[in-house]
Structure 1
Amino acid sequence: MSWAWEYEPGEQYVVGGENPAPEALVTQVEEKAGELVRAAEARYLDGTAFQGVGEGTKMATVANGLFLYLVVPRHERVYILQVTAF
């Protein structure tokens, strides 16, 4: 398995739908998600072997908004849960 990020429960739900997030914000969130993946990969060298309680939901800010994310070491994933535009 390899570390990656994804929208949870899906891109359409998190940044699309009736009131989609601005494209500039989505770009910023996705760039920051890449940084979070690299940090998690360095912290959890073998995430699949991780045992214990995870970090819980966290918030990250970008220039045009913020987003909630969850790092799940056993899945080797950073899940983007919610995106909010300013």
Structure 2
Amino acid sequence: MSWKWEYAFGAEEAARTAPPDFLAAVELRADELVRAAEALHVHGRAHEDVDPTGHDIIVPGGMFSYQVVVRSERVYIVQITHLGF
């Protein structure tokens, strides 16, 4: 398995109606988070500790919240907020 990111919960539904430029900014930062998590947790599947705390990231036009699940080798985007201006 290799590290990936994906939308979780209601973020997937919200992404369907968000503007493409906003989603491009979210996806660019999500790709960066995946690379960082992969470098930090080289043996992700063997991880036995608690997962890191999720955080919020501000992007042009809004923000998103994410959670890293090391044993699954995933970065989940759990909420996106587009400000609409």
TM-score, reference length from structure 1:
0.88
Residues 12-47 of structure 1 deviation map (CA, whole Å, 9 limit, x = unaligned): 42412xxx1111110100010000000000000010
**1:19-38 alignment to 2 at 5 Å?**
20-38=17-35
Q: What are structure 2's unaligned runs of at least 5 residues?
A: none
Question: d(CA) in 1 for partners of 2:14 and 2:38?
Answer: 24
Q: Are 1:51 and 2:52 counterparts?
A: no
Q: What are structure 1's unaligned runs of at least 5 residues?
A: none
Moved over 4 A (4+): none
Give RMSD over aligned pairs: 1.4
TM-score, reference length from structure 2:
0.89
Identity within the alignment, %: 45
CA contact (8 A) 1:14 1:81 kept: no
Offset at 1:60? Answer: 0.8
State the aligned residue count. 83
